[in-house]
């Protein structure tokens, strides 16, 4: 190869460009707005090139949803490994939001497009995040004596607040971490 890249490397690169273009589109307009021609153009490939990587736009949407689900799972795993919660979780989520400005809005859009094939992937990831955070919260001394239903409700609020914080950080809100700390403090204390 003249440029030093193998055919497989070029194929992986093109696929990643298509996925990135789709994630950006989903982040701004949702899964239902994905279209082969527009996604291919944004990725810098011809529409027929799209089909070398994906059988359909729905297959691409599932890949985008799986990526956002994996990001949420990694972030929650990092968060629950840290202690104390009020001091560390906001920093973890802000860093995650800033690392890819389209990932978190795409995750939230996936929850809104409930009749799209990508919805079960995103909803499952959020449900898993909720479960893991509920387990972590149930071990907090501050929440001792709370009913399981109370802890479950708090976990729900925390999950959505963390996603909200990630989106704010992705959009460049310099106060996202402090605002998250204040909200977590109000929620958990």
CB 36 within 8 A of CB 13: no
3-state secondary structure 52-89: CCCCCHHHHHHHHHHHHHHHHHHHHHHHHCCCCHHHHH
Enter the CATH code of domain 57-188: 1.10.357
pLDDT at position 52 is 94
Predicted pLDDT at 187: 86
Q: What tens-digit pLDDT sequence spans the chain (189 residues)?
A: 456 789 889 999 999 999 999 999 999 999 999 999 999 999 999 999 999 999 999 999 999 999 999 999 999 999 999 888 888 999 999 999 999 889 999 999 999 999 999 999 999 999 999 999 999 999 999 898 999 999 999 999 999 999 999 999 999 988 999 999 999 999 887
Distance CA 7, CA 141 (A): 56
* pLDDT value for 2: 54
Which pLDDT score, from 0 to 100, does residue 30 have? 95
Cα dist from 6 to 2, 3, 12, 130, whole Å: 9, 9, 10, 42
pLDDT, residue 3, reads 67
Q: What is the pLDDT of residue 82?
A: 82
């Amino acid at each position: 190869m003249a440029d030093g890249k193998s055919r497989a490397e070029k194929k992986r690169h093109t696929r990643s460009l298509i996925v990135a273009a789709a994630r950006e589109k989903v982040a701004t307009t949702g899964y239902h707005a994905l279209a082969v021609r527009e996604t291919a153009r944004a990725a810098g490939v011809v529409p027929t090139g799209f089909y070398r990587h994906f059988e359909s736009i729905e297959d691409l949407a599932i890949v985008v949803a799986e990526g956002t689900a994996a990001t949420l799972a990694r972030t929650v795993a990092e968060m629950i490994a840290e202690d104390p919660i009020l001091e560390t979780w906001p920093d973890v989520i802000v860093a995650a939001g800033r690392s890819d400005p389209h990932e978190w809005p795409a995750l939230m859009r996936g929850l809104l497009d409930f009749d799209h094939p990508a919805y079960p992937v995103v909803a499952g990831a959020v449900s898993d995040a909720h479960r893991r955070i509920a387990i972590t919260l149930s071990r907090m001394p501050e929440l001792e004596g709370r009913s399981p239903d109370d802890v479950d409700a708090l976990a729900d609020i925390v999950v959505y607040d963390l996603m909200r914080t990630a989106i704010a950080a992705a959009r460049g809100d310099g106060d996202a971490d402090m605002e998250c700390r204040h909200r977590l403090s109000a929620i958990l204390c």
